[in-house]
Amino acid sequence: MNAETTSTLSFSQPTLSVGQSATLACLLEISAPKPGNVHRGADFEDAGFVDFAASAVAIGPTVERANDVGVGATALAAIQATRTVTRTNTNLGTVLLLAPLAAIGSARPTSQRVATVLDSLTAEDARDVYQAIRLAQAGGLGEVAKLDVRDAPPQDLLQAMAAAAGRDLVARQYVNGLHDVFELIVPALLEGIQSGWTLNTSIIHTQLLAMSRHSDSLVLRKCGPAIADQLAARAGAILEHSNPTSPAYIQDLADLDFWMRSDGHRRNPGTTADLIAAGLFILIRDGRLRAPFS
């Protein structure tokens, strides 16, 4: 589905608040049985479905205030709230994407409004985002020569995100105005829903599409380019089965899930999950995704 088709779809007033929309988006994302991710039927050793669900609830009130307090303060408060319910990083990437989307306020999220929010980031936003990243203790960050998260925060957060954009899909969204969320994730989710697929099937298919187009940056950082490229190739191969309800497609998903979990959870495509949560938030705020969600 192209951008022109997407723009012709109808919108309606959301029935949930900004904070409720954020919580629901996170719950819908984590509930879908996506290969390699935590979901209702699969936990990691150090983080389970309850950790992610509790985190989704914890961030709701902080995201609700994003329009008043700004992106950085929202991100930091959300990670602080998350730390009250779990000791592991469950949502840093998701929080960093939701914060500028929620800072738009009650208006429907659009790439233009997000760009305005991102262009207005301050040195205080940079300070708070750096503190949030440190507090979340995200895995696989490594060290870089310039603008490392362990260094003093820069005056310009977008400068730091631009430096990381080549190795981190979430950072790239700050540079490109969430282009991948608006132009890849949202249309893919809508296409699945409008094809009559269940929401879970649409989410899984969107995950495969995103992984085939962009190597998951969490997998890239943890496992290196060879494994990340292999993941992208395997996801693309599954998409060749055009019917997500076909036995071959379902078997390929199971095989991919087994391969992704065969190395602990180092092959967990967590960044792709973050993008999907942001896409679901946009659809909920647009009023294009409404109950029932099954």
Q: What is the pLDDT of residue 143?
A: 46
Domain at 3-286, CATH class: mainly alpha
- 219 burial via Cβ count (<10 Å: 0-12, 13-18, 19+): buried
- What is d(CA 218, CA 136) in angstroms, rounded to the nearest whole number? 15
**pLDDT (tens digit per residue) in 128-139:** 999 999 999 875
pLDDT level of residue 152 (50, 70, 90 thresholds): confident
Residue 155, amino acid: Q
pLDDT tens-digit map of 3-14: 433 333 456 767
Please provide the average confidence, as pLDDT, over all residues in the chain: 90
Q: What pTM does this model have?
A: 0.91
Instruction: Locate the domains of the chain by residue range.
Output: 3-286
pLDDT-based confidence at residue 243 (cuts at 50, 70, 90): confident
